[in-house]
Amino acid sequence: MDLRAELEKILHDVGPENIWRSVYDNENVLLADGIAEMSDARPQDISTVDFQGKTVLDLGCNFGFYSFLAKRLGARKVVGLDIDDQVIKGCQLLKAMHAVQDVYFYTADLVNPNLPGPFDIGMLINYIGRNQVRKPITKVLDGVERVSLSTMIISLAYSYNIAKHLDGHAENL
C-alpha cells in the first residue's frame, strides 16, 4: 500500500470527528476536512513567534498541523505528541509524504508527568477535546510549563459544542 492510500485509510478509520485541522497531501490535495474552524487555528498568531533555530514540543498535535507549521517557520527540531496511536501513525506518513526532516511524532498521554524536554517552545493549541475534557488540565499546563525554556503557546477554541467536540452530554463531563 502506498503512503497516500495508507494515510487515507487511517483518516477514514480515525473518523472525521477526530480530525481537528484539514489534512493535505504533498501535492496540496485535501485528504480530510478538519472539524475546527480556521478562525480557531490562528496560524497568523503563531507566525509572529520566532521559531528560527528553536526546539518545539507540540502537545496534543493531532495530525501535525502546527508541528509542520513550526518547522516551516524555521524550527530546528519539532516533537509532536498525541494520545491516539493511529493519529501518530498518520503524522509519520505525512512527514514521509512531505519529506520533512527533524519533525518527530510519538504517542503520549499528556497528563503523564514524564514529558520529554526541555524545549525552547511548548505549544498546547486548542487542546481540549473529547479525550482530554475529563483529565486535569492543570497537570497538562504544569507539564508544558516544565518543558518550555522560553515560550509557551497555549490556546483554546472560542467555543466547544458538547455533542460535536466533547462527545457527550454536559452531565457526563
Q: What is the pLDDT of residue 32?
A: 94
Q: What is the pLDDT of residue 133?
A: 54
Q: Which CATH superfamily is domain 3-158 in?
A: Vaccinia Virus protein VP39 (3.40.50.150)
70-92 exposure pattern, b = at least 16 Cβ within 10 A, e = fewer: bbebebebbbbbbbbebbbbbbb
Q: For residue range 66-103, what is the model confidence (pLDDT) as tens digits? A: 999 999 999 999 999 998 999 999 999 999 999 999 99
Domain ranges for the chain, please list them.
Answer: 3-158
Bridging pattern class, strands 23-24 and 30-32: antiparallel
Q: What is the pLDDT of residue 35?
A: 80
CA atoms within 13 A on the CB side of 87: 23
Q: For residue range 108-124, what is the model confidence (pLDDT) as tens digits? A: 887 765 777 799 999 98
Q: For residue range 21-71, what is the model confidence (pLDDT) as tens digits? A: 889 998 989 999 988 755 555 556 677 889 999 999 998 899 999 999 999
Q: What is the pLDDT of residue 38?
A: 54
Q: For residue 168, which of 131, 130, 122, 139 has the smallest C-alpha distance?
A: 130
